[in-house]
Structures are given as C-alpha cells and as structure tokens.
Amino acid sequence: MTPTNMPGADRIADAGWLKAHEWLLLRRVSQLSILGLFLLGPLAGIWFVKGNLSSSLTLEFLTLTDPYVLLQSLFAGHVMQSTAITGALIVLAFYMLVGGRVYCSWVCPINIVTDAANWLRKRLDIKGQGLRFSIKTGYWIFAMTLIVASLTHSIAWELVNPVSMLYRGVLYGMGTAWLIILAIFLFDVFVSRRGWCAHLCPVGIFYGLLGSKSVLRVTAMNREQCNDCMDCFFVCPEPQVIKPALKVLTDDKNPLIQSGRCTNCARCIDVCNQNVFSFTTRFNKQDGMHLQKQKEIMP
C-alpha cells in the first residue's frame, strides 16, 4: 500500500499528520492514561484509583461499576448492595451522555489490540471482510451471556471476557489470559476484519444499546461537501453507520449518525479533508449550517 492511496492521505497532505490523527491520538491518550491511573497504585504506590473496570474506587470515595457486569450479576440471581448500584448508575448516566460505545473507543484496552490487528491486516494487504458474521451475532452472544448467567448462577462471561481480563491481568497478574488477547488479535488479523469489536463482543453490544439514545453524536453536517473519497468508510470500525447520515437516506434527512453502534471514535472527523463531520448533540439536526455561515461571512 502506497502512502498516497492510504485513507486520510489528502487530509495529511493538506492539514498535516498531527491534525489528521488528532482524535486518534486523543483516544490513545485516554485509553492509556486510564490504564496508567490504575497502574499508579501497584507500580508507584499512588492509589488515585483502585480496582479495575468492573468496579473501581477513585480518591477513596467515588465508586464506579460496570453496569453490564451488574446486569449479569442480576441475571445470576444476586442483587448488589447500593454502593455498586450507585456506581453503575453514574457510569450509565455518563455513557448515555457521551455515547455508549465511547467505552469501546476511549476506554476499552482491547480497542488498542484490535486497532493494531486491523493495522497489521492492512499492512499484510489482506483483502475483504474474511469470515462474515450476521449483524445480529453480537446480540445473540449478548443474550447468551445473560442466559448462561441465569442458568449457572454465575457471572460466567467474566471468566473469559477479554476486556476485563486484560485490565485485571495487567493490574493483578495475567496468568494465561494473554492467550485470549493473542487469540483475538490473530482472529482480527487473519480471520475476520474487525471481527471482535464490531461483530462479537457483547460488552460493545451492551454499550451500543446504552448509547442508542445518547446525547453526544457525530454529525455529517457538511455532507454537501462530500467528494466521495470513501476515506471515512475505510477508517470507520462500523462503516454501516455513516451511510444513512452522509447519503441522506433517513426519512427526516437527519445528518446525525444515529446508530448506537457508532463508537464516537471520531476517526471520520480526522480523515475527512472536506470537513464533513463534527461532534454535536443529538438535538442539533442542522444540515450544512457550517457552510451557510461560512458563506455569510465570506460571500
């Protein structure tokens, strides 16, 4: 692959590499600094935050709990005490505000693994989707985790969940958990393009459902400027979410990317050389206002 046909090449040429990777870098900083804050304790003895992504205690007072684990626990037959429930409600409220799958792209450590896998897949020039999964597969797996929890009276999914496994492994000792991480990496490289995060992971399904009505959204507000370069489709981990907004396919002609599957990773904003995409709230359905304003200012 030559640099000129790489997605975002135009953007890099016009705005510079840094601008074309602005949000990506911010995401990496977010993912790594959250892990870093957790690691400060065991590595340096600075206990800013304790625990892991399943439940954590920040500054000795703020408990945050993963609502998906809480849901599994509920299905397994345990009603948690108020500390955990409050923690889960805070997390729930946060992601309903900023977008459910912000968890996937800004927090989840597996995202770094699967992004790396996708990068390698491109470098190895592996074409196509590879193994295809029905769009519904993830939802089936999500339902299965809850059913297994209720049948075995155990939070069974957490036995193999690579998301919590990686965090727990880094913070408390890995065991052979790295095998699961490696398996997902290889799966995404050789078997199925973005197979894990986009098709199978039930954590992503949960947060996607949570985020289907979330406030913060990416909008294709300046879609009139789109020159069909397809770069956004190439970099997007869930390309199907862009089309309805960009190509005016919804009944209300809404430029917002409305699917809960959108992770708000903002790679589309990074690579688009026409400034089509931007962050906004779900209440802002203005179309091309940017342009109109610009035209008013510079006639």
Q: Using CB under 8 A, pick the residue from 15, 30, 112, 154 that binds another protein.
A: 154
Number of residues that bind another protein (CB under 8 A): 57
Can you tell me whether residue 29 is helix, strand or coil?
A: helix
115 binds another protein (CB under 8 A): no
Name the minimum Å distance from CB 2 to another protein.
38
Token pair of 260, please?
Answer: 């809960």
Q: Using CB under 8 A, pick the residue from 6, 37, 57, 170 that binds another protein.
A: 57
Give the ranges where the chain is alpha helix by DSSP (H): 9-15, 17-20, 22-44, 67-75, 82-98, 102, 110-123, 137-152, 162-172, 178-186, 195, 202-210, 231-235, 242-246, 267-271, 289-297
Strands across the sheet containing 49-51: 49-51, 55-58, 62-65
Largest CA distance in the chain: 68
Token pair of 166, please?
Answer: 């990686």
**Among 220, 224, 197, 238, residue whose Cα is nearest residue 285:** 220
Site stretch for another protein (CB under 8 A), options 102-110, 131-139, 243-251, 269-277: 131-139
Q: Using CB under 8 A, pick the residue from 8, 109, 169, 244 that binds another protein.
A: 169
Site stretch for another protein (CB under 8 A), options 62-70, 118-126, 231-239, 254-262: 62-70
CB of 30 or CB of 86, closer to another protein: 86
Asked whether 204 and 139 are in contact (CB, 8 A), the reply is no
Q: Using CB under 8 A, pick the residue from 104, 107, 117, 165 that binds another protein.
A: 165
The binding site for another protein (CB under 8 A) comprises: 41, 47, 50-52, 54-57, 63, 65-66, 69-70, 73, 76-78, 80-81, 83-84, 87, 133-134, 136-137, 140-141, 144-145, 147-149, 151-160, 164-165, 168-169, 171-177, 179-180
